[in-house]
Amino acid sequence: MKKLIYTILLLPAIVGTALAGNPDRQGEAGAYELLMNPWAKSAGLHTMTTANVSGVEANWINVAGMSRINKTEVAVGNADYLRGTDIRMNAFGISQRVGKKGAFGLSIMALDFGDIAVTTTDQPEGTGATYSPSFFNIGFGYAHTFENKVSVGVLVRGVSETIADVGAFGFAIDAGVQYVSGDQDNFKFGISLRNIGSRMSFGGEGLSVNGPSSNGGGYNLTFNQRSAGFELPSTLNIGLSYDFYLGEKNRITALGNFTANSFSEDAIGGGLEYGFNNIVMLRAGYLYDFGSKDVVSAPLYAGPSAGATFELPLSKENKKTRLGIDYGWRQTNIFNGTHNIGVRLNM
């Protein structure tokens, strides 16, 4: 069993090292919505909770943490992405414990672009019609905890990007591991490998053009143009955290995280979370990206983040049934940041 655990721990690191940080490939990937975090609790720490994330949010960050729940967790999330662009992220997820050690999870994330005016070369100001792209992904995962110390998980995600007459579809796989140690499970370590999957390419009637035949016969033919394929934005995340307990009601969690990006520069960061009596939690983080500092090519997310959680038990008899409200903010190098809000129900 120990050899199996060590193999699982090392495999993502070995694979991730081969895929990590290559700025020369920047812009070659697609489906970047897979890197957009719709969940408020982890967003307040710049998505650096690889080591200690649990429940529904683990489906997005480190699927291994999904099994660390009481019985059932349901969550919804909404985010104002790049405030000023009128783009929103919406998410729904559910995690359900199966047996004493395992848990299944389902998560759905979609982008709302609003209504976009249809323009043509003849009517560049708009035809009067509108359209709205449909970008969504759905993931289904399983996580299992061994001896209450090591959790492993795997998730399969379907990715869809479509407009009225053009679309692309692909699959991605996430895998992760978490290790917990200490007298009060203070120390946590996690590795997650995300968005390893098939190439995607667009197709549909929108790529068809009508033009004269090549043999000069005086008639038109419909030609289908082939679009170039693109890779998914795979990442490797390595994180750790430590809980400091100050009496029975106060907790301070310090965490750090390293992200290796296959199609851009790597990033490193850390954060702190203060919790009072498991009711009020305040958090703040800072993310440093090794990429360019030029406004055009600089990474979107870098710098500070902050968030808060208010969580209360719903009954005096069963304090494990809790309702939580989360908020998260992240600084962006363009527009006015991203604001997340979410609601969680733990049963």
DSSP for 149-181 reads TEEEEEEEEEEEEE-SS-EEEEEEEEEEEEEEE
Q: Is 4 helix (H, G, I), strand (E, B) or coil?
A: helix
Residue 22 is predicted with a pLDDT of 60
Is the pLDDT assigned to residue 11 strictly greater than 70? no
| Average pLDDT over every residue of 91-105 | 95
Report residue 247 as tokens. Answer: 């009496």
Measure the CA–CA gap between 135 and 325, rounded to whole angstroms.
26
Q: What is the mean pLDDT of residues 327-333?
A: 94
What's the pLDDT at 297?
65
| Contact indicator for 89, 227 with CB cutoff of 8 Å | no
Nearest to 62 by CA among 138, 174, 196: 174
Share of the chain above pLDDT 70, in %: 89
Residue linked to tokens 């702190």: 272
Q: Measured in Å, how far apart are the chain's first and last C-alpha atoms?
A: 31
Per the DSSP assignment, residues forming a β-bridge with 177 are 152, 191
Beta strand extents in the chain (DSSP E only): 72-81, 87-98, 102-112, 116-117, 130-131, 134-146, 150-162, 167-181, 187-197, 208-212, 220-224, 235-246, 250-261, 267-276, 280-289, 301-313, 322-332, 338-346
pLDDT tens-digit readout, 55-88: 999 999 999 999 999 999 999 999 999 998 999 9
